[in-house]
Structure 1
Amino acid sequence: MAQQRKRNPNGAGTITKRKDGRYQAAVYVLQPDGTRARKFAYGKTWAECDTKRRELLAKVDNGIPVPTRSAKLAEWLPYWLDSIIKPRRKPSTYDKYEAHVRLYLVPMIGAKRLESLGVADVRRFLVQLERKATAATAKESHRVLRTALTSACREELITRNVAGLVEPPRAPSRKLSPWTLDETLDFLAAARKDPLDAAFVLAITMGLRRGEIVGLRWADVDLEQRVLYVRQQTQRRRGVLYDDDPKGRRRRAVPLPAMCIAPLRWHRMRHANAKERAGEKWQEGGYVFTTRTGRPVEPRNVYRSFTRVAQSAGLRVIRLHDARHGCATILTAAGVAPRVVMEILGHSQISITMDVYTHVVQDTQREAISRMDRLLKRRPDRD
């Protein structure tokens, strides 16, 4: 029988036998911060331990970091937010992720280390959070944790994403209640005298989001060719207005409906008069909807005006975003293909369009079934 090697060349690590009968390999490996540290691996036999030693050496040769001690979630999650999310994602996304990390993930599961975090730990966390908050909150925290662990896998801190193995909670879908066609027409009639009349027409006929309305500039509106370009949105974050890409970074060019042209032309005339009256106080930013001094209108004020007009018309108050839903409802009921509706509204996936407006699709299905019944109606029996 060949004699087992007790020593390895310098830098190749060592294998020793422990008092408990197991074998222990020790190899200097690269750490995520660029330093080197000793990593231990264990096996029941010398051969098993030697295999693990060789695997560690292969990672050393390829420059792959092998942490000697797994970081706690409470340590990894803040690093992930500041180093990975903040430079690459939208500020609103960072704020949402940061809130879930601060309020739920770190307090409830932050003591767990990345390598020791198991499927049962994630499942237990989700059950506790659902009881403490809501299923929707637990579902969102699950998504944040899964995204953070995916980054940890990419940096080779862990070998698998246990959050991806756990099914997230099922949150009840929000019941949509957009206006009917008659209610929509009553609102548009009542909004004609409002300074934001053109904004409401765009929200209803084109389904623009509130941030897209506030961020709209005259350079994005071509009244001659009847085209509107959705290139950005304006949001308020931590007391500051800022411009950002549209949701999902989906910039789009949409034909302007004929009923939008007149309100936009009237609004442009009023905009020019306001600029002349403001004089030196005017702050030119190119925005379509502005304050008396040219600054972009506050996003919350758009909804306040929307609510005020709805109440004055005796209509039930809905979210401004529900007017966007109403746009898709009208388009779908008019027979517009879902793919076209998706492009007009800027949805990232066709499934979003179909899921949100299922009730309209069901009505279309009923009509199709009724037509089939008429076509397949059994002929009278012959005498």
Structure 2
Amino acid sequence: MSGRSPATVTMYHTYADKHVIPALGARKLRDLSVEDVDRWLASKTDELGTRSLKLIHGILNRSVKSAMRRDMVKRNVVDLCDIPDGRAGRPSKALALAQALAVLAEAETSGERIRAYIVLSLLIGARTEELRALLWSHVVAYDAEREAWLPVAEAGWDHEEFAIYVWRSVRQKGDTKTVKSRRSLKLPRRCVEALRLLWDVQQTAREKARERWQDTDLVFCTRTGTPVTAHNVRRDFRKVVDAAGLVGKQWSPRELRHSFVSVLSDSGVPIEDISRLVGHSNTVVTETVYRHQIRPVIMQGAAAMDKIFGS
């Protein structure tokens, strides 16, 4: 698994050791049949979700392909099997507008880091792995005198227009999820204010930490400049959600992105524009992943006909 992160390698080892090897590890490949694999996958449907079923199928599939390259088996029966639907997982959801306003209001009274994190997630729809990798050099202001976009460290905060370059993520190689995910987004004023406050707090933390400070240039970092973990973000986010009158453990940071899509869709923003803002390759991806958050567009035909022909 070259090129994968240590966490990913560990996850695959765990699935192989728990689900693949105990059931099929002792079987000779030449005796393995499509029916054997189908029965094995079917036996896991009450235990695993669909994504996990795809994962264990992939582990076995790659193993058999490796055996084929070494002339240990003549055909890959795993590749002929369909993957069944697994156990239903927790459905993703989005904050209603009133809930989003309550979370934002509570974030305003919380620490500067989680405040900026929630405001950016909800108002620009960035992925959580994108925000955790965001650099200050990618937070830019438009300098009207020089007619150029410059990092805020150079340009300062006394400008009208600001943007961020969503060019990185915390994935193994630092790339965004897809090529289309690499995008530049203008910042709403509320985001600018949250980032400016976080900048000031971080400069103070840098002075206090002195030689312990690690100059990572990360926007979202610890008191010594080191990267924050997904656990750090989830813990702080759920505290804010609890304080806003919701049940924190029922929500995850990624659902701020779902809320971004939902709020824009309810406000009449076209699906094509939403797709570009969230960094999807096309509207099909947006409609599939966020189908519960997208306002149905089939009403448009009826509205047009009512306008043309009347009641």
- TM tier, smaller: 0.7 to 0.9
User: Aligned pair 1:204/2:126, yes or no?
Assistant: no
CA pair 362-289 structure 1, distance change in 2 beyond 3 A: closer
Residue by residue, what CA displacement relative to the aligned partner does 1:206-254 show, whole Å, maximum 9, x if unpaired? 222333222221122213343322333337xxxxxx8743335765122
Aligned residue in 2 for 1:120: 35
The answer as to whether partners of 1:229 and 1:251 remain within 8 angstroms in 2 is no
Structure-2 separation of matches of 1:286 and 1:315: 34
Higher relative contact order (CA 8 A, sep 6+): 2
The answer as to whether partners of 2:259 and 2:293 remain within 8 angstroms in 1 is no
CA pair 336-163 structure 1, distance change in 2 beyond 3 A: farther
Deviation at 1:104, TM superposition (A): 0.7
User: Aligned pair 1:195/2:195, yes or no?
Assistant: no
Aligned residue in 2 for 1:263: 194
One-letter code aligned to 2:92: L
SS at match of 1:229: strand
Aligned residue in 2 for 1:313: 244
Aligned residue in 1 for 2:48: 134
CA pair 359-295 structure 1, distance change in 2 beyond 3 A: closer
The answer as to whether partners of 1:232 and 1:243 remain within 8 angstroms in 2 is no
Structure-1 separation of matches of 2:255 and 2:163: 24
Aligned residue in 1 for 2:212: 281
Structure-1 separation of matches of 2:79 and 2:308: 48
Aligned residue in 2 for 1:185: 101
The answer as to whether partners of 1:214 and 1:234 remain within 8 angstroms in 2 is yes
CA pair 309-349 structure 1, distance change in 2 beyond 3 A: same
Aligned residue in 2 for 1:326: 259
Structure-1 separation of matches of 2:222 and 2:294: 41
Name whichever structure is richer in strand by fraction: 1
Structure-2 separation of matches of 1:145 and 1:337: 42
Structure-1 separation of matches of 2:293 and 2:129: 26
Structure-2 separation of matches of 1:176 and 1:166: 28
Aligned residue in 2 for 1:371: 303
Larger radius of gyration between Structure 1 and Structure 2: 1
CA pair 95-209 structure 1, distance change in 2 beyond 3 A: farther
The answer as to whether partners of 1:227 and 1:256 remain within 8 angstroms in 2 is yes
Aligned residue in 1 for 2:168: 232
How many residues align? The count is: 286
Question: TM-score, normalised on structure 2?
Answer: 0.79
One-letter code aligned to 1:325: H
Aligned residue in 2 for 1:247: 177
Structure-1 separation of matches of 2:72 and 2:277: 42
Deviation at 1:156, TM superposition (A): 5.7
Residue by residue, what CA displacement relative to the aligned partner does 1:94-118 show, whole Å, maximum 9, x if unpaired? 2332222111111101122333322
The answer as to whether partners of 2:133 and 2:170 remain within 8 angstroms in 1 is yes
Structure-1 separation of matches of 2:269 and 2:69: 42
Alignment of 1:59-78 (within 5 A): none
One-letter code aligned to 2:119: V
RMSD of aligned alpha carbons? 2.9
Query: Quick one: which of 199, 220, 232 aligns to 1:301?
Result: 232
CA pair 304-111 structure 1, distance change in 2 beyond 3 A: same
Aligned residue in 1 for 2:153: none
The answer as to whether partners of 1:135 and 1:169 remain within 8 angstroms in 2 is no
Question: In terms of mean alpha carbon deviation, does 184-193 or 249-258 score higher?
Answer: 249-258
SS at match of 1:233: coil
SS at match of 1:245: coil
Aligned residue in 2 for 1:99: 14
Question: TM-score, normalised on structure 1?
Answer: 0.66
CA pair 337-376 structure 1, distance change in 2 beyond 3 A: closer
SS at match of 1:228: strand
Structure-2 separation of matches of 1:90 and 1:157: 29
Structure 1 runs not aligned, ≥5 long: 1-84, 236-241
